[in-house]
Structure 1
Amino acid sequence: MKRYWTLLQNEPLLRRLSIIQLIAYFGAWFSNVAIYTLLIQLHVSATTIALVAALHFFAGVLQAPLSGVIIDRFSPKKLMILLTLTEISATLGLLLIHDISQLIWLYGLVFIRMGAASFQFTVEMSLLPRVLEGKALQYANEIHSVIWSFSYTAGMALGGAVVYYIGTTYAFLLDASLFMIVLMLLFTLTISVNIEKQHQTFVTMMGDAFRYIRQNKIVLHLMLLHAVVGFTAFDALVVLSVKQYYMDMIAVSLGIGLVHASRAIGLTIGPLFLGEWVTLERLRYLFVAEGLTIILWAIVIEHFYLSLLASVLVGLVTTTLWSYTYTLLQHHTQSDYYGRIVAYNDMIFLIVGGFVSLLIGFLVDIHIPLAIITVILGGAFLVAAFYYGWIRHHYTLFEIGHQ
């Protein structure tokens, strides 16, 4: 923990961005419970729930090729202000959804909202390697993952309670209010990073980035390795498990909030213990550990309280896997390509997350038990451990903090 406080004290830009992230992520997860509760109240199918979960990912996929070029050309502060205004507008639009006939509008608003959030995330993650490097960059990514996880915990837990007691409307209003605070903080943010003026066209810059990836295949492999963490896209799985197993003992919104919050406890504390421990040599063990804990969750998923405990264990490894593999990619990428490579990396990650969400819905509709589906997701991490071993055998990786 001390290493995080020291870095935040020494890096005012990171400190301000961390505050912005804390508020924005809290609001996003807070209203996410409202969205899924609303879907269950409208009596939609498992496929519809999975589709909405997938939209959270696919919105970022479609914009990624263009967003990477934009990030490498324009002021990050102006981009973040514009994207926050978009999130506010889309969140307020959710207040108008009251009937199943309006599902198409809900799809559109979720798509826009999450597209802006994904773009915002890419802006921030391409900004960090421009101002930090080595271990400082790894710690900054860990701070980001801890903030995301804490916001996830508090947002889901409090969101579930608020939705249960006073309804979805107030959750959406509170979310929009939090984004207004983010907007005010962004206006006073100082970013001393010069974005070099680009004379190339958008198409040329995109083509140049793809050529860079072809010439540096380790970058592509690190993207794919990081994308495996997308197999923890459990939103649809959690909603469906609450609907199938827990509705008789707990309200839907509270159940969704508690299961997500339990996993997020592990997500929050994991980097505090594993962040300093993980190295290139030990990374494969984290993939194995993630796979085995997900399989353990599958065994107890029908039992609410055991599921909560297993969810904590699942979360322990996830954030360290995410932050370390992300930092490896940044560490092996040339600075001129940060915006585009981060955007394409996020695109692949979001494709995997969206695919997993749709896969869960499809498998449920063909009557595959949730426990079997969860085992499949855990198995992906066991495969990734072998893939990582292959990468290390065929390519030279530099330990973070060394070159």
Structure 2
Amino acid sequence: MLLKYLALLRYNHALARLSAVQLICYFGAWFSHTGIFTLLIELKAPVWALSLAAMMAFLPSIVLAPFNGIIIDKLPKRTLMLALMLTEALSVLALLLIDSLDFLWLLMALIFIRMGVGTLFFQTEMSLLPSLLAKPHLIIANEIHSMIFAFSYTAGMGLAGIFVHFYGIKASFLFDFALYCVGIFILFGTRFREPALQNAATGALKMFTQTFYYIKSKPVILHLIFLHALVGLFAYDTIVALLVDYEYKGILSVALAIGFLNTARAFALCVGPVLLSRFVSEKNMIYFLVFQGLCIMLWACLESNFYTSLLGIFLAAFFCNSIWSYTFTRLQNACDSAFYGRIVAYNDMVFFIVASLVASGVGLAFELGFSLMVITSFIGVLFILGSFYYAWVRHRYF
């Protein structure tokens, strides 16, 4: 099954180079991410500062979505992506200036800038793919992207802590900066056919209002955005943190317990698309959503024991990337090229709103006295309800 991914990368040099940039930058990002939180802990930052730093991962995708879409649809993609990567690299380098809590405001600003331009880079690339690939190849490219993210997450998170431990926080920032420089070099040498700029002369306000009229005229777009956001229901981080804190005490250190659970999850995100790709179809997606829900409910039954929980979280994540890739591909295919950037940006916004609500809702439900088994099971039920929603959308629009 890996052959079709390798064949596409070999056939499409632009996709291969863009995928290499993704791999390098995603991998390096976890080094500075680990360095930032290690720095905050070493500086004895208050809890609200740690929470604010974590929230910055979601905030740019939600706040900047209307502006990001307009920027993507108005500017040449290659030039924009180079400018974004350079900005992201410089924001990482600027982290070396933070040596006390007096610069906490600067740290938060740098995190916001970095996450903002990183999000815009991702949205630009995903809006570019439909013009680089034939429709049958688009879902394969999306699966490649999701597997690169999962692999980078697994390897990056695993190695970043070791790297910071032995070489220090500033070395992690410098290493990430060096990787961005490599990524910029690869991107600079990448050539691809730029899609026609259909909005270059259109005002930003007009583009903003056009988007709402466009979605109103094509309601399937909105339904596909909501279907894609179903994956955001599996915002598992809060559940993992609570399990480690309340269920797995004394088994392993907090860092190792979280690391093993995240590794099991990320491994499932990598192998899931490879094994399931041949079964992904419009007809079968309803079963994927049902199985996703059932697997999360199975994890709920297994999560009280750390070792069985590793199997549970693996199964709970097994269908995620296939659902993510399929729904994203349907959205790309349903969207007209003039609106790619704006629709991708709004799709990201809804996805992260759902993920944020689930992450905060899990904590609130736990505080109200609901067990983690009940909370996790409820998320599984939402996926099964999502399968009925998908069946309705498919019957009406596909």
Q: Report the TM-score, using the length of structure 2 for normalisation.
A: 0.90
Aligned pairs for 1:223-262 within 5 A:
223-246=225-248, 248-262=250-264
The superposition leaves residues 318-343 of structure 1 with CA deviations (integer Å, 9 ceiling, x where unpaired) of 11010000001111111221111111
Distance 2:139 2:362 in 1: 32
State the identity %: 41
Amino acid at match of 1:248: G
Question: Match for residue 324 of structure 2?
Answer: 322
Distance 2:284 2:189 in 1: 41
SS in 2 for 1:388: helix
> Contact 2:25–2:183 at 8 Å: present in 1 too?
yes
Distance 1:36 1:287 in 2: 35
Distance 2:176 2:370 in 1: 36
Shift in alpha-carbon separation, 1:389–1:330, aligned structure 2, 3 A: same
SS in 1 for 2:191: coil
Question: Match for residue 79 of structure 1?
Answer: 80
> Contact 1:160–1:256 at 8 Å: present in 2 too?
no
Q: Report the TM-score, using the length of structure 1 for normalisation.
A: 0.89
The superposition leaves residues 339-383 of structure 1 with CA deviations (integer Å, 9 ceiling, x where unpaired) of 111111111112212222332343445454433332333232122
2:336 to 321, 334, 337: 334
The superposition leaves residues 137-185 of structure 1 with CA deviations (integer Å, 9 ceiling, x where unpaired) of 1111111111111111111221233345555443333222222221222
Shift of 1:17: 0.4
SS in 2 for 1:158: helix
Aligned pairs for 1:199-278 within 5 A:
199-246=201-248, 248-278=250-280
2:123 is the counterpart of 1:122? yes
Shift in alpha-carbon separation, 1:389–1:54, aligned structure 2, 3 A: farther
Shift in alpha-carbon separation, 1:315–1:96, aligned structure 2, 3 A: farther
Shift of 1:95: 4.6
Question: Match for residue 13 of structure 2?
Answer: 12
Question: Match for residue 58 of structure 1?
Answer: 59
Q: Which runs of 5+ in 2 are unaligned?
A: none
Shift of 1:89: 3.2
Aligned pairs for 1:31-46 within 5 A:
31-36=32-37, 42=44, 45=47
Distance 2:183 2:100 in 1: 31
2:358 to 356, 359, 369: 356
Shift in alpha-carbon separation, 1:321–1:111, aligned structure 2, 3 A: same
> Contact 1:64–1:347 at 8 Å: present in 2 too?
yes
Question: Match for residue 89 of structure 2?
Answer: 88
Question: Match for residue 314 of structure 2?
Answer: 312
2:137 is the counterpart of 1:136? yes
Shift in alpha-carbon separation, 1:254–1:162, aligned structure 2, 3 A: farther
After alignment, is 217-226 or 168-177 more displaced?
Answer: 168-177
Shift in alpha-carbon separation, 1:51–1:378, aligned structure 2, 3 A: farther
Amino acid at match of 1:310: G
Distance 1:119 1:253 in 2: 31
Distance 2:34 2:241 in 1: 9
Q: Report the number of matched residues.
A: 395
Distance 1:379 1:96 in 2: 47
Shift in alpha-carbon separation, 1:221–1:142, aligned structure 2, 3 A: same
> Contact 1:49–1:236 at 8 Å: present in 2 too?
no
> Contact 1:59–1:111 at 8 Å: present in 2 too?
yes
